[in-house]
Structure formats: C-alpha cells, structure tokens
Structure 1
Amino acid sequence: MPELKVTDRQWTVTAGANLLDALNQAGVPVPYSCRAGSCHACLVQCVSGDVRDSRPDALSPAQRDQGWRLACQCQVTEDVQIHTFDPQRDGQAAEVVAVDWLGADVLRLRITPERPLRYRAGQHLVLWAGDVARPYSLASLPGEDRFLEFHLDCREPGQFISAARQLKAGDPIRLGELRGGALHYDPDWHDKPLWLLASGTGLAPLFGILREALRQQHQGAIRLIHVARDACGHYLAKPLQALAAKHPNLSVEWIIGAEAPAALAQLRLTSRQTQALVCGHPERVEAFAKRLYLAGLPRNQLLADVFLTRENGAG
C-alpha cells in the first residue's frame, strides 16, 4: 500500500484513497468547502511522487507543473510527499475590525489584512483562527469596502464556528490563499437579464457580485431571489431593499423554505439571453438549476457555487 508523507509524519493509506480524506483523517488540517474542485480551498503541493487527479483541468498548467493539486479530486496510488499550508509560515496576517450578528444565525465578520488584498467579487478566502480553518466567500466589494466581509452560518456547530464566536475587534486572524470560485460578474453581460438565486448565506458572494454589476452600471434587468428557512433568515433584507429603491432595474424577492418548490415552479424566463448565478446548499442549488433548465436556460449560462455545511476537523 502507498505511503503518505507530510513534513516529519509518514503513514500507510489504502490504494485509491481520497487524498483530502486521508490527510484530514490523520489529523493534518486541510480545509475544504465544495469537494467539487471549484473553491480550491484544499490546494496542496506534491513535493515528490504524484497522485491520480480526476480534475487536471481545474488548475493552470503552471500550477500543475509546480506540483499543486486539489486534494478533494485526487486519489493516492503511489508513495507521495505532500506540502500543506501552514498559516503561520504561509498565511497573511490580518486583524478583526468588527464582529456582529445579522439575525439569529448569521455572524458577520469584517477583517483588515496587513497588506492590501486584490480580489474580485465572488471569490473565496480561507480563514484561519489558530489551527482551525474554513473557506468562506467574500461578501465585500473590492475598491469600495475598506474591509473584507464574510457571512458565517452558525446554525451547525463546528470548530471554526466555535472559534469565530469568540472573536472580537482587534483580534489577530490569518488568511490563506485567495481562491477563484465559480461566481463572478462579466462586463459582457451588461445588457442581458441577470438572475441571482441564493439560499442561506449563499447570498454573501451574490451580494458582492450584485454591487459589482450595479457599479458597472448593468443595464439589463436584475432579479435577486433569496430562499431562507424562515422570514428571519432574510438577513440582508434592509440593504437589498435600499439598493432596489435606488436602482429601477433591480427586483428582490424573498421566499420561505417551505414555499420554495411552488415559488420556483412559477419561474419563467423573459429572455434566453438570461445569465444566472446560483449559490447555497447543494439541494437548493440543484433545485434552482433544474428549474432554470426546465424554463429554457442554456446550461452554459448558469454558474453555480455549492456551500457544504460539514466542517473540516482541523486542529
């Protein structure tokens, strides 16, 4: 059976074992979110040996030549030595500037990095609180917000959530690498209808992307739909209502979870040029996508990002 080595540790794993699982089960902290090769949170480097990669197209040729792999997409088939991210050595220092609650379940975390961070709306960033890590989508808008903003769903317990609940303004925090993510705003969509469909804190990246579209003076109609467990879950209602009042081409709709199937069944496209971005829990994303396809949306006009609730057990 193949041997897996990380720094001064070495152990035997079953041939064909998933690399991400093999690392985390052995107590090596590798964060992850989508497990689909989109968020890039689980990036590791093969120092010697290699792994079987089911998504070689997910990274650039230059990254692959340097040995970088997405652990969630790889199987261990031979002896391999892995370099993992060390937040103290490889991470960037940052400071918490505000922690507050947006409703009962969503914790808003605002931080300022030690050095300016160049990013685009919709990207992911891995946050490290001590030796516990988790990737989150940015809700902030580059160039306008003076901080990085994240919306943390605290309904499910987890090590990072427990650590985040204890944070306060002035506390240090470490940042991992910035990841691409599947969601973004393309200026070529300028005149096209733009649909943004989110469930839960899947609204976070779409909040940034919406503001990016408005900043670029998007001319097509923009329709934002947010599905939440109950009315209290529509945690960005006030700022979104303010944006809708200011921009006539923006409409915002709120749907309660139990009403979602019937509400989504009523969706009708006004144009086959519509561009759709969906984000949230896997079941909600699947429901959004299925309804949009049935309504006639071409598959290449839908971008999706999935949020998993299970946390990495780092630390």
Structure 2
Amino acid sequence: MPELCVGERRWTVPTGSNLLDALNAAGLNVPYSCRAGSCHACLVHCLDGQPADALPEALALDKHAQGWRLACQCRVVDDLRVAVFDPLLEGMPATVCALDWFGDVLRLRLRPERALRYHAGQHLVLWNGAVARPYSLASLPGEDDFLEFHVDCRRPGAFCDSARGLRIGDELRLGELRGGALHYDPDWQERPLWMLAAGTGLAPLWGILREAVRQGHRGEIRVLHVARDSAGHYLAGAMQGMAGVTVDLVLAEQMEEALAGFRMVSRQTVALVCGAPASVERFARRLFVAGVPRGQVYADAFVEHV
C-alpha cells in the first residue's frame, strides 16, 4: 500500500484512496464544499510523488505545474508527500470593512492587505478560520478600493453560519483567485447584452454590468433578476439608476412568464447567465428558444455548498 506523508506524519492507505478522504480520515481537516473540483477549497501541494488526477484542467497550468492539486479529484496510487494549504501562511489577509444585510443576503466588503489584480466575473476563495468557500467578486477593479461578495445565508452552511458572526475589523484570508465563465469583452460594445441572474447569481453580473458601462457599451443592456421575494432584489435601486440599462425584477413564480417575453432583435446578442444550476438551465433553454446562438451564451452555475 502507498504511504501518505504530511509534515512529520506518515501512514499507509489503500491504493486508489481518494486523497481528500485519506487526509480527513487522518484528522487533517482539509476543507471542502462541492467535491466536484469547482470550489477549490481542498487545495493541497504535492511535494514528492504524484497522485492520479481526474481533473487536471481545473487548475491553471502554472499552478498545476507547481504541484498544486485538488484533493477531492485525486487518488493515491504511489507514495505521496503533500502539504495542506495553510491560509495563515499562504493566504492574503483582508479586513472586513462593511457588512450590509438585505433580507438573507449579506453584502460583505473586504479590504485586502495589498491590491489584488482581478477582473469582473472572477471567483475568489474566502477563508474564515478553517472554513473555506469560493465566491464571485461583485466589486469593480480600478473603482472600488474593497472586494465585494454577496453571501446567500438563507440556508445553513459552514461559511454562512460563520459569516453571520462577522464584525467590522475582523480578518479573513483570501485563497485562490480564478477565472469564471463570465466576463466583459470590449468587442461586444455595439452588441445587445443580456444579463440574467437568480438570487446572488447577480454578484458577478453586477461587476460586469459596471464594467460594460465604464467602457461605454453602446448596445442594448438588459438585466433580469429573479428573486424569491421583493427583498431579494437587493441591488434594484442601484441598477435602475443606471442610464441605458433596462432592469426586469421578477419573482420566482413569475420566472417562466418573464422569460417568455424575451424576444431577440439581433443575432449578435450576447447573454450572461448566473445562478443555481436549475435556474441557469431554465435561462439557457429560454435563450435558445429566443434564438440566441449557444456560442454567445456564457453561463456560471453556482455549486451547492455543504
């Protein structure tokens, strides 16, 4: 059986063991959320030996070449020495500078120790103690001196539960920054731009919307936000105050009716959609019916966290 080593600890595991399970069975308490290679909370550094990696493309090429792996996607097939990601050593400190509640949605603003290079639509792993979860950035680089995240606290969850206790001045740690499927392309400036979001799927689109306006987008901009209740339309005022932006605020039970009203006026239309998988699927299906080419629909489905 292969030997697994972390620091001074060494133990054997059955060949083919899932690396995340093997580490946690030994009491290492490696965080995880999705077990699908999406959240990146279970990042580990392979120092000697290589596991069988089922999803190498989940990490950037340079990070993968440096030996970083997602433990949930790896199996131990030979002797392996790894280091668990330590947010105190490798994460960037960030201080809570604002906390605003909109119903069950927490708008969390952090001021990082140093400027972070990112673009609207990217994700960042947040560490609150030993709890790590990825969240989309809702802030806009170059304009905001903070990082903004929208945390849906309607359901219990490790990060949500810990976030409820946050106070101004508390310190979190920033983990891996990675690109999502959503972005703004300057080549789209003359094209109609549709943004469809459910719940806190609005977070990345809020940054992208502001980026489009900042870059002088000249085509139609239409935003549709689906929420469970009126309190869930937490950015309604800010969006409705933007010149040249049409905003549709829709309750969940009205979603199909509202989507049926979408009529494409140009084959050049670009659509950005974000939310829970079921909502993203409904958005994509309606956009296809409306005639938006599949290659012009960019989707980011949030993974349910544990």
Task: State the partner residue of 2:263.
Answer: 268
Say whether residues 1:222 and 2:217 are aligned partners.
Answer: no
Contact 2:19–2:74 at 8 Å: present in 1 too? yes
Identity of aligned residues (%): 59
| CA distance in 2 between partners of 1:11 and 1:291 (Å) | 53
Q: What is the RMSD computed on CA atoms of the aligned residues?
A: 2.4
| CA distance in 2 between partners of 1:272 and 1:18 (Å) | 46
Alignment CA distance shift 1:22-1:264 (3 Å): farther
Shift, 1:65, TM fit: 2.2
Shift, 1:19, TM fit: 4.1
Task: State the partner residue of 1:85.
Answer: 85
TM-score normalised to structure 1 length: 0.87
Task: State the partner residue of 1:113.
Answer: 112
CA offset digits 1:103-143 (Å, max 9, x no partner): x1001111111111111111111111222221111111111
Shift, 1:271, TM fit: 1.9
Alignment CA distance shift 1:20-1:301 (3 Å): farther
Shift, 1:189, TM fit: 1.2
Answer 1 or 2: higher relative contact order, Cα 8 Å, separation at least 6: 1
Task: State the partner residue of 1:129.
Answer: 128
Structure 1's unaligned 5+ residue stretches are none
| CA distance in 1 between partners of 2:145 and 2:269 (Å) | 32
Q: AA paired with 2:131? A: V
Task: State the partner residue of 1:99.
Answer: 99
Alignment CA distance shift 1:112-1:189 (3 Å): same
| CA distance in 1 between partners of 2:285 and 2:224 (Å) | 15
Shift, 1:73, TM fit: 3.9
| CA distance in 2 between partners of 1:8 and 1:155 (Å) | 41
- Secondary structure in 2 aligned to 1:210? helix
Shift, 1:16, TM fit: 4.7
Residues 156-165 or 288-297, more deviating: 288-297
CA offset digits 1:207-236 (Å, max 9, x no partner): 011000100011111111111112221111
Structure 2's unaligned 5+ residue stretches are none
Q: AA paired with 1:160? A: F
| CA distance in 1 between partners of 2:19 and 2:264 (Å) | 42
CA offset digits 1:150-188 (Å, max 9, x no partner): 111001112222221111112222221222222111111
- Secondary structure in 1 aligned to 2:81? strand
CA offset digits 1:279-298 (Å, max 9, x no partner): 11111111112222233322
Task: State the partner residue of 1:28.
Answer: 29
| One of 251, 265, 289 as aligned partner of 2:284 | 289
Task: State the partner residue of 1:55.
Answer: 55
Say whether residues 1:187 and 2:186 are aligned partners.
Answer: yes
Say whether residues 1:150 and 2:145 are aligned partners.
Answer: no
| CA distance in 1 between partners of 2:35 and 2:267 (Å) | 29
TM-score normalised to structure 2 length: 0.89
CA offset digits 1:182-207 (Å, max 9, x no partner): 21111111111111111111101110
| CA distance in 2 between partners of 1:184 and 1:7 (Å) | 40
| CA distance in 1 between partners of 2:295 and 2:47 (Å) | 36
- Secondary structure in 2 aligned to 1:174? strand
| CA distance in 2 between partners of 1:219 and 1:184 (Å) | 17
Task: State the partner residue of 1:210.
Answer: 209
Task: State the partner residue of 1:162.
Answer: 161
Say whether residues 1:253 and 2:248 are aligned partners.
Answer: yes
Number of equivalenced pairs? 305
